[in-house]
């Protein structure tokens, strides 16, 4: 009996502790109010300051300063905790309200609580005041109200739930009967099931099965299409009949004979095209003279081609700046309501009380369309407009200022903020710092197929040679035929050493040996060329992840085309994702910088630069703008912004 009492007495305190723990967990982790300048005005002292890591600092750096404030929430992961952060702004007062809670809790009242706190705090806010201890009691009452409303909402959902359960149960029974018929019938391809039945099953269960149904659909349609293709090929195009006709008939022979009549004596020579007033060139074939061995007579032509465009300052003309506002105003006029002369004049003099979302929508829609025509990915343009709307909503419009010009100015500031590098991109300084430590500075060039990695690697090598930096090339593209020979040609033209091991070798080991060789020879920089790979090719992405992990380069450059639009988002996000997922390191290396190629072919379609920087957070360090070694320059942010918004 005594033993039973002791165990019972032990059990009750444990239960009490568990209840207290649940009460604590139901609360927020932190609620913070600060100015846009970074001054903290109020924090909830009841919640304490036991946050792991620095979620609020990360939110400011990665989201608010990077024009991602239009998002609904931000997830922050750290060892031992996973937080969700939600926020709202008071743009007129320049205040930011941030709530932090454990992601697993899914608190329903956070959005409403933030709105209530924003409303109450704005009434007592004074710019000269920095301490708001009297707001503690107000917050306590607001939190109780929000929690009570959330509980009511939860109860109302629970009363509706049984209807949904019956519906789901009916769907489950229907799916079960489908499964039974599927099992008895066997495989679709084996029993001759047609595509319509598979499609009907998918539509019945599509709304309850979610992502699983999508995979099932692709699997079923794959089998069905396989069967349909074979049958359609036989009925539409019989290859055996065609072969008989070509053998017996004479028509095909006569056609071939007509097409093959070419006089071998008359050789057609291609004429040079003259562009504008440029002098005609004497020859079109610029390939190197090759002897019997194939590698002896390569002419050194690039040792001195002049100053690289990296060292030339670009001059931007300031024309047509006044026309930009007019264009936006024209685009937004059809959607704006017609106003009388007196009301519009009075509003322009007095200024609008507060900007609302409805006022911003026409101008933002016009800007979004304009960005998309300049090759900005649709997803990025949408997020940018949401962020600009969040930063302007509630602000007072100044006197003699139009909504369109205000929106355009905010968008311009946002794009400049995104494209301006957050860290130093002075490679020459980093090279000299590595030289002092007696180790080579290693740059790895990565990217998809055919974007110009090897060519732009040679341009970077030429620019470094102009600054008296010794360079070594590492031929780590052991996959593509001709890749080693291509890099060898560049190395001989530039008169720099190249480390190569041929084909079908492990590129990670080749890169490691190249770095060791550069250390022995005293080379300042090692430029590592890698094979082009699509972002979905897991074996090649695994090999790239191994190369980066094993050699720990100083700079990982993603080489991307300026021609891409929506695909830029997919390429960069998946490259970073694969490098993170496939790395064996707890802190995986991601893309550090971007090299944009073929920039001279896009006219004013410069949106790929914005899309790539926005999705990766990495700066554009080089821009390839031609076919010679000097055609490499820096990204001019002002020029890009002007082109995007004109």
Given a contact cutoff of 8 angstroms between Cβ atoms, the answer to whether 496 and 465 are in contact is: yes
pLDDT of 282 reads: 57
Residues with Cβ < 8 Å from 504, sequence gap 6 or more? Answer: 478
pLDDT-derived band at 160, boundaries 50, 70, 90: low
How far is C-alpha 289 from the chain's CA centre?
Answer: 44
pLDDT of 17 reads: 43
525 has pLDDT over 80: yes
Between 285 and 217, residue with greater pLDDT: 285
Assign residue 176 a region (left: φ > 0; alpha: ψ between -120 and 50; beta: otherwise): alpha
Sheet hosting strand 74-78, strand order edge to edge: 40-43, 30-35, 95-102, 81-90, 74-78
User: Rg of the chain over CA atoms, in angstroms?
Assistant: 33
The string of pLDDT tens digits covering residues 203-213 is 333 343 434 43
pLDDT of 353 reads: 61
The string of pLDDT tens digits covering residues 484-521 is 999 999 999 999 999 999 998 999 999 999 999 999 99
The string of pLDDT tens digits covering residues 269-318 is 556 666 666 565 555 445 555 444 444 455 555 456 777 788 776 665 54
Given a contact cutoff of 8 angstroms between Cβ atoms, the answer to whether 361 and 550 are in contact is: no
The string of pLDDT tens digits covering residues 463-486 is 999 999 999 999 999 988 899 999
**Percentage of residues in the chain with pLDDT exceeding 70?**
65
Distance in angstroms (rounded) separating the CA atoms of residues 176 and 166: 15
**Nearest-10 Cα torsion for 507, 513, 516, 518:** -70
- 3-class DSSP state of 225: helix
- 3-class DSSP state of 522: coil
Distance in angstroms (rounded) separating the CA atoms of residues 387 and 415: 11
Given a contact cutoff of 8 angstroms between Cβ atoms, the answer to whether 208 and 171 are in contact is: yes
Dig out the tokens for 119 from the structure.
């409303």
pLDDT of 106 reads: 78
Distance in angstroms (rounded) separating the CA atoms of residues 247 and 485: 45
**Can you list the alpha helix ranges (DSSP code H) found in 522-584?**
538-551, 567-582
pLDDT of 424 reads: 79
The string of pLDDT tens digits covering residues 43-98 is 887 776 678 888 888 888 778 777 676 777 888 888 888 888 888 888 888 899 99
Given a contact cutoff of 8 angstroms between Cβ atoms, the answer to whether 565 and 377 are in contact is: yes
Q: How far lies 11's CA from each of 7, 17, 21, 25, 445, in Å?
A: 6, 10, 15, 21, 62
**Percentage of residues in the chain with pLDDT exceeding 90?**
26
pLDDT-derived band at 352, boundaries 50, 70, 90: low
103 has pLDDT over 70: yes
The string of pLDDT tens digits covering residues 223-257 is 334 434 443 343 444 444 444 444 444 444 444 44
Burial class (CB in 10 A: 0-12, 13-18, 19+), 70: middle
Half-sphere exposure in the Cβ direction for 541 (13 Å, CA): 19
pLDDT of 294 reads: 46
**Residue length of the chain:** 646
Find, among 3, 2, 21, 24, the residue nearest to 13 by Cα: 21
551 has pLDDT over 50: yes
Half-sphere exposure in the Cβ direction for 199 (13 Å, CA): 5
pLDDT of 266 reads: 56
Q: Hey, what long-range contacts does 310-318 have (CB within 8 A, 24 or more apart)?
A: 310/463, 310/622, 310/632, 310/633, 310/634, 311/463, 311/466, 312/633, 314/633, 314/634, 314/636, 314/639, 316/636, 316/638, 316/639, 316/642
Given a contact cutoff of 8 angstroms between Cβ atoms, the answer to whether 467 and 522 are in contact is: no
pLDDT of 10 reads: 43
Mean pLDDT of the region 159-184: 48
Q: 6-15, 308-317, 438-447: which range is least confident on average?
A: 6-15
Dig out the tokens for 481 from the structure.
């035929």
Q: What is the pLDDT of the chain when averaged over all its residues?
A: 74
């Amino acid at each position: 009996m005594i033993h039973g009492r002791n165990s019972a007495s032990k059990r009750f305190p444990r239960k009490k502790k568990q209840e207290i723990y649940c009460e604590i967990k139901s609360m927020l982790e932190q609620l913070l109010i600060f100015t846009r300048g970074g001054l903290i005005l109020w924090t909830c002292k009841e919640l304490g300051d036991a946050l792991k890591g620095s979620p609020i600092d990360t939110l400011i750096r990665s989201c608010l300063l990077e024009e991602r404030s239009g998002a609904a929430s931000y997830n922050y992961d750290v060892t031992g905790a996973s937080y969700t952060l939600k926020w709202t702004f008071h743009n007129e007062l320049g205040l930011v309200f941030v709530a932090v809670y454990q992601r697993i809790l899914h608190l329903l009242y956070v959005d409403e609580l933030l709105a209530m706190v924003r409303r109450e705090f704005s009434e007592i806010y004074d710019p000269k005041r920095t301490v708001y201890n009297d707001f503690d009691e107000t917050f306590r009452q607001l939190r109780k109200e929000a929690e009570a409303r959330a509980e009511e909402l939860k109860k109302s959902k629970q009363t509706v739930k049984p209807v949904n359960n019956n519906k789901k149960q009916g769907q489950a029974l229907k799916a079960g009967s489908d499964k039974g018929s599927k099992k008895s019938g066997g495989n679709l391809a084996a029993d001759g099931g047609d595509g319509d039945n598979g499609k009907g099953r998918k539509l019945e269960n599509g709304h309850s099965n979610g992502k699983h149904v999508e995979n099932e659909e692709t699997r079923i349609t794959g089998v069905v299409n396989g069967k349909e293709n074979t049958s359609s090929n036989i009925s539409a195009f019989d290859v055996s009949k065609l072969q008989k006709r070509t053998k017996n008939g004479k028509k095909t022979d006569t056609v071939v004979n007509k097409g093959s009549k070419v006089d071998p004596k008359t050789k057609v020579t291609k004429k040079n095209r003259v562009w504008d007033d440029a002098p005609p060139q004497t020859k079109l074939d610029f390939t190197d003279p090759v002897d019997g061995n194939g590698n002896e007579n390569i002419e050194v032509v690039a040792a001195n081609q002049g100053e690289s465009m990296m060292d030339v300052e670009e001059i931007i003309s300031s024309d047509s700046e006044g026309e930009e506002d007019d264009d936006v105003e024209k685009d937004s006029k059809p959607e704006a309501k017609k106003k009388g002369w007196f009301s519009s004049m009075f509003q322009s003099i007095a200024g609008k009380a507060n900007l609302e979302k409805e006022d911003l929508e026409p101008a933002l829609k016009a800007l979004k369309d304009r960005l998309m025509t300049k090759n900005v990915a649709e997803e990025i343009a949408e997020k940018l407009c949401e962020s600009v709307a969040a930063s302007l909503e509630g602000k007072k419009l100044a006197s003699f200022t139009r909504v369109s010009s205000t929106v355009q100015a905010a968008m311009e500031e946002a794009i400049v903020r995104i494209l301006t590098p957050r860290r130093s991109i002075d490679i020459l300084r980093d090279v000299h710092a590595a030289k002092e430590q007696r180790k080579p500075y290693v740059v790895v060039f990565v990217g998809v197929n055919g974007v110009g990695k090897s060519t732009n690697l040679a341009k970077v090598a030429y620019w470094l040679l102009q600054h008296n930096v010794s360079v070594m090339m590492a031929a780590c593209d052991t996959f593509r035929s001709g890749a080693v020979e291509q890099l060898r040609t560049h190395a001989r033209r530039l008169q720099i050493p190249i480390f190569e091991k041929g084909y079908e070798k492990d590129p990670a080991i080749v890169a490691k040996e190249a770095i060791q060789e550069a250390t022995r020879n005293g080379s300042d920089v090692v430029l590592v060329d890698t094979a082009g790979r699509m972002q979905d090719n897991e074996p090649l992405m695994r090999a790239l992840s191994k190369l980066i992990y094993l050699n720990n380069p100083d700079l990982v450059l993603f080489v991307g085309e300026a021609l891409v639009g929506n695909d830029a988002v997919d390429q960069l996000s998946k490259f970073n994702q694969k490098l993170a997922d496939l790395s064996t390191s707890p802190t995986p290396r991601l893309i550090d910088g971007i090299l944009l190629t073929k920039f001279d072919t896009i006219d004013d379609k410069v949106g790929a630069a914005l899309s790539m920087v926005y999705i990766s957070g990495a700066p554009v360090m080089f821009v390839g703008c031609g076919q010679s070694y000097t055609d490499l320059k820096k990204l001019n942010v002002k020029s890009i912004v002007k082109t995007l918004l004109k």
